Structures are given as C-alpha cells and as structure tokens.
Structure 1
C-alpha cells in the first residue's frame, strides 16, 4: 500500500511536473492542493488521510493542536531550512519528522528590484493607461542614479540588493542592530549611524530582515513619519516588520511617494483586504521565492527528503 503525500498551496499546479517524482512514485501517491485552506479545521480535515505533507515557506502554521489532529502524519517537508510557524517540539512529540530544503536568495533580490523599478518609473500605471487608450505619459520617473538606497538588513539578500544598487550608481547605506562597518564594506555599502538617520535620508528604503521579537513592528507610525514625502518603501521580507495600519495611513494620506509590497499580514489576501485597494501601492502576491529554479530545488529536494525518510535515513532535518 502506497503512502499518501499532500502538497499544499500548489497555486500554479506545477509541483508534480517541475521536479522528478519517479524515485518515490511506486511507494508514494502525491496529491497537490491548488487552493489555500483558510482555517485549521479545513486543513485538518483535508490532511487527515495523508502520511506526508509538503508545505511552502511559512504560510501554513503547524501548531501542536494541528499535529494532534493528524495521527497519520509522519513526515513534514518545508521549503527552506528555517520555519517559524512549525511547532518543532510538538512535531517530535507526535513522531513527525520535519525536513527542509535549500532556498536561493536570488529570486527575492530580483523581485525587490522589480518592485523598486516599477515604483520609480510608474510602470504599472503607465502600462495600464497605454492599454486603456489613456494619456501618453502622465508620470515623471524618479531617478535611481545618485539617490540614496537605505537597506534595513544586509544578509544574503540585502547584500545582493546593495551591490545592484551600487551598479545603478546609488548611494547605498545599511542598518541593522548588529551590523558592522566591516560587513557593509564587503557589500559595497556604508553603515548608517542609526535606523532613524537611514529613514530620514533615504530616497528608497528596502527591508531585508528576518522576522523575530526584535524586528516585529520595527517600522511603526513614528518611523514611517521620518521618511521623506518623496521616498519609496519596499518590503519583500515579512509583513509584520511594518505596522500595516500605519503603512496604509501613510499611503492614503500621501506622506510617502509609494510602497512596493510582496508580503501581507494575511496570505492569501481576502477579497476585501485594504491592501488590495490602497493608493500608491505596487503589490504582488508573495512572489519573492516563486521562480523556476527555486521551485525545482524545493520540490526536487522534497522528493529526496521523502526517499531518504523511506530508507530510514532522513536528511535536512529541522527542529
């Protein structure tokens, strides 16, 4: 009898075609779910018949209560090697092995620049106007060359964003609590004197911090008020780093030029969510990690994880 494997949030319906599942197909039956389960009750009911679950990023929480409702579950595979929404202690207590995969920092870097450039040059607005027979040119683009790019965070993603900013001829500055001059020098950036100084002086601010107790709500109303009225904010990291109500207020009141956002407090966004209609907002549905190469890695290594587990030798264990 084959084990049953569920693949969650397979929105594009590519999980079973973008990777080779043949190494396990004689022992595992794979079912992809192209929709999102909004509640724990819906998720528990859907996953009850499955022995293995593959989940993407940190969209679907796996708390102790959910593990208790899934007695058949034996293997949980998450993309990436860190997942803050899985209760690892509860997984162990219920005999569930948790494994991860590699994840490339390149796709979120590229999306960061897609959002930043889209904001600076009014790409969506001008494209929509052109298609609708509207005015020929109605915006004046913001220049990048010679402007200041402020980076909150200079890790694997932030450092790559910094190098591209420098290639555009931007003045790149960076800040995080433990950031050093040596690290900024390596990335071709300058160390900002403080978070506040970075916010006040930057023309573009991009967030590249991990979400934790020290970064949750890092940018609230007081911090957003420091931004220039001509400044743009980009967040491809985690929504909770920015006070969402404060950001919406700043956008509606025109206190910043605009924002590019790829992450939200609720995902997928409900139909009536205010982020769907906010002015001065360029928003994408959490596409930062969504690329062909990353998906090949996620699902390809998920297959490897399943095969190793079936051999009794789990790899890439988390927790």
Structure 2
C-alpha cells in the first residue's frame, strides 16, 4: 500500500464511541479518520462520502446500493461490522474493485438480542410503558397485567436466538411452539419445544417472537394472513429484521385492534422518522434497533474494523465478504 494519506469514514456512530472503543492511531500517521455521528440522508450521502478511501459501516444502518458504490470513485475498502450485510451490493463492489471485509462482534451479541426480545415481551404483558407514563401523570393502576405462566409462546425461527428466547419462555412456565421454513419436528424436540405448522403457531400463540434471517424466502413471512390468524389478545415481537413482517398489514392490525399489540426494535426506515405512524400508537413498544447494541459488542466491532483496515493496508485483507 502506498504512503499517501488514507481517509477513513466511520458511519452512523450514534453513541459517539467509535474513536474511544478502538485505537485508530495504530493505523499510522498517514491515516485520517472522520466520524459521522448522525445518519447521512440519501440526498447528501454520495457527496459526503466521495473523499474517502475506506468506509466503516455500522451494520445495515446505511445502505450501499450500486448507485452509491459507483458514485464513490476513491472508495477501495468497505468494512461492515458483523459478518453479513444485506444492505451492501456486493456485486457492485466487486465490479468496482472495492474490497468488502467483515468485523465480527462480541460473544454477547446473540444473548443481548434475546434479552431485548424478552424485555419487549415483558413490557407488553405487564403494560410497563403505559403504567410508567401514567405514573408520571399522577395516575395509579390503570391496566391489568397478564401472567406469562401457562401462556403460549410462538417462536418463528429456532436458531441460536430463537432457541435462547424459547428457553426463557420455558423457565416462565410457558408452552413453547416453534416454526420456520426449514425447521423439523426432530430439531424442535432437541431444543425442548414443540414443532407446529405456521398457521397453528400464529393461531395458538399468546405472543409470537420472530427470529429469522431476512431473505427472499422469508420476506413478509409474517403477512396479513398470519396476523389475521392471531388471537385479538396476542402480541407480536420483532427484534430481527423489519422485512420479515408486512409492515402495512401490521400497522392495519394494530390500528384496528385485531391484535393486542407489538414490540418492535426494527423498522423499514431507520432511524424511524419522527412522524411515523407507529410513534403515536399506544399498543406498541418501540426501541431504536438496540438488539445488538452493547459496549462489549461495539468494542469488538470497532477493534475488528481496525484489524481489517490494518490487514488491507498490509496487502493481506481478512474476512473478505466479496471474494
């Protein structure tokens, strides 16, 4: 690699921690780092990023379609935190000669997301957000919390996250059922839960928690028909990807009270616009895509991002995703 100055952009550092959680100075005096704490709007993105040779993207917060890749003539390395990023057009990067490398997170990433799913489930069953708001208004006991024991938890996707969520449900004394496009009764039995067909899961569950990877096969796996099959008293929790759920169908079901409520950590547009219709619904618990957010995970993300840049500068890129 030449000794010319290398410009690095650190994107979407909402918490302003990227330069504290990793030592970017180890990259050498020829490297200049600029942090973008705020989300770059699409209209401003290409112009803002044109000066950079290297971009470090935080997960899928900023999309990199072909049109953006092609408008960044200096870009040579794109590092994504995590080892999968569906928001990057890998083929466009390959055509342009841009190397894409992954920067894995910490061991607690899966645990943190499962914990957040349960925070949503508990908040919905116990009316936590409503009771908290009403307490601050001077009110007292305005709703009727529901017990978890004896209720049915439906888990869509029984990988590491889904299994972790299922185990907590069992600990609470819930009946746990699971379904996914590839799940078998034998695999469900190994996890100590019951396999049921998709329609039965949505019809039986008092709460459905979604834990699938987004793909063409799983997009809108929770569609209008699945939502219509749910009990009016049931909840939906999604801490995975917004595209797994038909958002228009969900909004309609929530507005009309066809389901009791939802806990959502992921959205079609992120950050969620201030005027989004979800923000005014009182039967929704909203968090700003916190499932993978922790100091431990981000320290690993940024440390591995520095490592990826070091390896690329040395001419030996690591964890290449578009090889």
What band does the TM-score fall into relative to the shorter chain?
over 0.9
SS of residue matched to 1:105: helix
Per-residue deviation at 1:253? 1.2
User: What does the per-residue CA deviation read over 1:87-130, in whole Å, with 9 as the maximum and x for residues that have no partner?
Assistant: 11211121111001223212211111111111111111111111
* Alignment map for 1:117-136 (pairs within 5 Å): 117-134=122-139, 136=140
Are the counterparts in 2 of residues 122 and 141 from structure 1 also a CA contact under 8 Å? yes
For structure 1, the 5+ residue unaligned runs are none
Question: Is residue 143 of structure 2 the alignment partner of residue 145 of structure 1?
Answer: no
Choose the corresponding residue for 2:173, options 148, 151, 169.
169
For the residue of structure 1 that corresponds to 2:285, the secondary structure is: strand
- Cα offset for 1:290? 1.0
**How many aligned residue pairs are there?**
316
Structure 1 residue 32: Cα displacement: 1.0
Q: Is 1:181 aligned to 2:185, yes or no?
A: yes
Verify: 1:159 aligned to 2:138, yes or no. no
Instruction: Report deviation, 1:181.
Output: 2.2
Pick from 220, 223, 236 the counterpart of residue 220 of structure 1. 223
Alpha-carbon separation, structure 2, partners of 1:182 and 1:23: 50
Deviation digits for residues 6-40 of structure 1, max 9, x if unmatched? Answer: 1111111111112232321523221111111221x
Q: TM-score, normalised by structure 2?
A: 0.94
What is the CA–CA distance in structure 1 between the aligned matches of 2:176 and 2:93, rounded to whole Å? 43
Question: What is the 5 A alignment of 1:1-319?
Answer: 1-39=4-42, 41-103=43-105, 104-134=109-139, 136-192=140-196, 194-319=197-322
Q: Structure 2: any 5+ residue segments left out of the alignment?
A: none
Residue 250 of structure 1, CA deviation: 1.1
Distance 2:175 2:188 in 1: 12
Q: CA deviation at 1:153?
A: 0.4
- Which SS does the other structure have where 1:26 is aligned? coil
**TM-score between the two structures when normalised by the length of structure 1:** 0.96
Do the aligned partners of 1:99 and 1:305 also contact (CA within 8 Å) in 2?
A: yes
Name the CA shift for 1:317/1:132 in 2 (closer, same or farther; >3 Å).
Answer: same
Measured after TM superposition, the shift of residue 188 of structure 1 is 2.0
CA RMSD of aligned residues (A): 1.3
Q: Equivalents in 2 of 1:269, 1:70: separation in Å? A: 26
Greater mean alpha carbon deviation, residues 137-146 or residues 304-313: 137-146
SS at match of 1:200: helix
Q: Which runs of 4 or more aligned residues in structure 1 lie more than 6 Å from their structure 2 counterparts after TM superposition?
A: none
The residue matched to 2:162 in structure 1 has which SS?
helix
Shift of 1:172: 0.9
